[in-house]
């Protein structure tokens, strides 16, 4: 958005009225004009009504350098003493477009049908419409540093509904989706929303998945232009906002905020999607605390400089960031555990839906290596458990240690360590927070045929153990 600040000096005829501003951009033969009913004596940054606000289109922001010129045109025959200051030019430099390409899941559940005890609004067997993700993508695009957000549906559980008898279908849904996503993209760095039909106690959750894959449960609110997906996406980069607390002033947000409504945009302006992309100001003449950051739970909402700049840094792996003088700016590089970058410079093509490597038919058998796919859970009480194991053959290396808190070990018959891989739990977030929340983990380990048992340890404390069967599994139809 280009905001044009203007000044004026009232004369014998009073304030300047019905003044137009024209914007010319190199490469676009069409000039655009906006009109202001009354020009202020001085524009105010926190009042959109005192500035001319032009939204540049896609063609005008493609990579490269171009000049823009704004010209003020007074109405009627009113004379001006100085025409030389009615025009202003600037040179803008645009970097490459940055895209967020996500996959999506949705599920149905077995009931209960509208049980008030579950606060459930979706009858059993129903699914949220896929097209609602279009609204979520547009709303997310306008508050995050992506040129475009595209969401491709990949899996639907309608053929195998999830059990909702205890009002928690979203829990098995995240396990179901995480295991599919990890198998599809074992080298990670893919984000995916799980569109849930019920409006249960969890409005949204994140984050889990292996090697940087991240899943986000979201209620079916997206058709209301809600920023729920943008919020959960931002939580999936823990360095931007600490998971489990949506607005954390201790995270470094420096501007004073009203205690009853944290996250105020202050003197800044953002954009948001509401049927179309519109500008939104932190303050308006009739309401000082008018707009808020989309991470604050307060509405109307846009993106504060702090959140936008932190997301720019984290979604680029620290290669692009705001100046240090700007809230959230500076070259702080994300940790290796958060290097799951999903922004790229290519728009989504249909051939990108299935990622090459693991299931690539051109891979030669001699190039494939067996990896043990390990998933499970760890509770805040110290209990843990494994989900069913699976062998994945891959021609690319997909095992990685990402932390030190927990260790997976492959042991031989004598208890000797054959291989090990360490990890930290991914910070997980739930709106609202829930007691007894089980943290999920998933990882790949290069398989060793001499493995007799698999353990999950926290230092020397064995939390879970699985003995490898000596019998070859059989399948009967």
The percentage of the chain sitting over the pLDDT mark of 90, rounded to a whole number, equals 13
Q: Do 174 and 80 have their domain in common?
A: no
Q: Do 83 and 226 have their domain in common?
A: no
Q: What pLDDT score does 355 carry?
A: 38
Q: Output the average pLDDT for the chain.
A: 78
Q: Do 182 and 327 have their domain in common?
A: yes
Q: Is residue 272 part of a domain?
A: no
pLDDT top residue among 90 and 220: 90
Average pLDDT, stretch 366-387?
83
Window from 58-62, 103-107, 310-314, 355-359 with minimum mean pLDDT: 355-359
Average pLDDT, stretch 401-417?
90
Among the candidates 41, 73, 94, a domain finishes at 94
Most confident range, picked from 160-164, 177-181, 472-476: 177-181
Average pLDDT, stretch 162-188?
78
The packing angle between helices 228-235 and 132-141, to 10°, is 60
Q: Do 125 and 86 have their domain in common?
A: no
pLDDT at 259 over 70: no
Q: What is the pLDDT of residues 79-113, one digit of tens each?
A: 787 888 899 999 999 888 888 888 899 888 776 65
Q: Is residue 31 part of a domain?
A: yes
Contact 271, 278 (CB under 8 A): yes
Q: Is residue 51 part of a domain?
A: yes
Most confident range, picked from 91-95, 379-383, 439-443: 91-95
Q: Do 151 and 201 have their domain in common?
A: yes
Q: Do 219 and 132 have their domain in common?
A: yes
Q: Do 42 and 105 have their domain in common?
A: no
Domain extent for 309: 99-249+304-344
pLDDT at 66 over 50: yes
Residue 57's φ and ψ, nearest 5 degrees, are: -90, 180
Q: Is residue 270 part of a domain?
A: no
Q: What pLDDT score does 299 carry?
A: 80
Q: Is residue 268 part of a domain?
A: no
Among the candidates 344, 375, 396, a domain finishes at 344
Q: Do 141 and 213 have their domain in common?
A: yes
Q: What pLDDT score does 111 carry?
A: 67
Q: Is residue 289 part of a domain?
A: no
Q: Is residue 75 part of a domain?
A: yes
Residue 199 banded pLDDT, cuts 50, 70, 90: low
pLDDT at 2 over 60: yes
Q: What pLDDT score does 361 carry?
A: 35
pLDDT top residue among 31 and 362: 31
Q: What is the pLDDT of residues 282-321, one digit of tens each?
A: 877 777 778 888 887 778 888 888 888 888 888 887 888 8
Average pLDDT, stretch 370-388?
86
Average pLDDT, stretch 258-279?
76
Among the candidates 94, 118, 137, a domain finishes at 94
What's 65's domain CATH number? 2.60.40
Q: What pLDDT score does 415 carry?
A: 94
Q: What pLDDT score does 367 carry?
A: 65
Number of domains into which the chain is organized: 3
Q: Do 337 and 391 have their domain in common?
A: no
Average pLDDT, stretch 69-80?
84
Average pLDDT, stretch 7-28?
87
Q: What pLDDT score does 436 carry?
A: 62
Distance of CA 406 to the CA centre of its chain: 27
Q: Do 72 and 183 have their domain in common?
A: no
Q: What pLDDT score does 281 carry?
A: 83
Q: What is the pLDDT of residues 383-395, one digit of tens each?
A: 899 988 888 887 7
pLDDT at 443 over 80: yes
- Which residues pair with residue 259 across a beta bridge? none
Average pLDDT, stretch 400-404?
75
Q: Do 127 and 231 have their domain in common?
A: yes
Q: Is residue 299 part of a domain?
A: no
Q: Do 328 and 427 have their domain in common?
A: no
Q: What is the pLDDT of residues 128-164, one digit of tens each?
A: 888 888 888 888 988 998 888 888 888 888 777 887 7
């Amino acid at each position: 958005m280009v905001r044009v600040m203007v000044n004026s000096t009232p004369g014998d005829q009073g304030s300047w009225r019905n003044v137009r501003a024209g914007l010319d951009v190199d490469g676009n033969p069409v000039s655009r004009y906006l009109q202001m009913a009354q020009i202020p004596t001085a524009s105010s940054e926190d009042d959109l009504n005192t500035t001319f606000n032009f939204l540049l289109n896609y063609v005008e922001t493609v990579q490269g350098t171009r000049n823009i010129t704004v010209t003020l045109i007074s109405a009627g025959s009113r004379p001006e003493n100085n025409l030389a200051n009615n025009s202003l030019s600037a040179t803008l430099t645009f970097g490459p477009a940055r895209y967020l390409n996500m996959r999506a899941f949705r599920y149905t559940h077995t009931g209960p049908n509208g049980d008030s005890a579950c606060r459930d609004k979706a009858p059993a067997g129903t699914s949220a419409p896929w097209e609602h993700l279009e609204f979520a993508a547009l709303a997310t695009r306008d508050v995050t540093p992506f040129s475009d957000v595209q969401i491709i549906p990949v899996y639907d559980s309608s053929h195998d509904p999830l059990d909702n008898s205890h009002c928690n279908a979203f829990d098995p849904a995240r396990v179901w989706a995480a295991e599919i996503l990890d198998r599809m993209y074992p080298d990670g760095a893919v984000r995916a929303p799980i569109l849930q039909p019920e409006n249960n106690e969890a409005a949204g959750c994140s984050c889990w998945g292996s090697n940087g894959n991240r899943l986000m449960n979201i209620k079916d609110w997206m058709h209301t232009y809600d920023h729920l997906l943008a919020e959960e996406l931002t939580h999936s980069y823990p360095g931007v906002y600490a998971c489990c607390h949506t607005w954390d002033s201790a995270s470094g947000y420096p501007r004073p905020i009203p205690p009853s409504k944290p996250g105020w945009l202050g003197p800044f302006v953002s954009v948001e999607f509401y049927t179309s992309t519109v500008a939104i100001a932190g303050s308006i003449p009739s309401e000082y605390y008018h707009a808020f950051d989309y991470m604050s739970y307060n509405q109307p909402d846009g993106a504060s400089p702090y959140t936008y700049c932190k997301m720019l840094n984290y979604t680029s792996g620290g290669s692009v960031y705001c100046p240090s003088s700007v809230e959230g700016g500076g070259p702080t590089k994300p940790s290796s555990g958060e290097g799951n970058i999903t922004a790229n410079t290519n728009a989504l093509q249909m051939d990108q839906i299935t990622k090459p490597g693991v299931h690539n038919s051109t891979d030669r058998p001699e190039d494939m290596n067996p990896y043990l796919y390990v998933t499970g859970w760890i509770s805040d009480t110290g209990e843990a458990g494994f989900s069913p194991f699976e062998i994945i053959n891959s021609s690319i290396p997909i095992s990685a240690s990402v932390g030190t808190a927990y260790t997976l070990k492959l042991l031989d018959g004598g208890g000797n360590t054959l291989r090990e891989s360490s990890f930290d739990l991914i910070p997980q977030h739930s709106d609202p927070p829930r007691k007894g929340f089980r943290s999920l983990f998933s990882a790949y380990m290069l398989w060793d045929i001499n493995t007799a048992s698999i353990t999950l340890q926290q230092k020397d404390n064995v939390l879970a153990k699985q003995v490898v069967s000596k019998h070859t599994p059989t399948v009967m139809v």
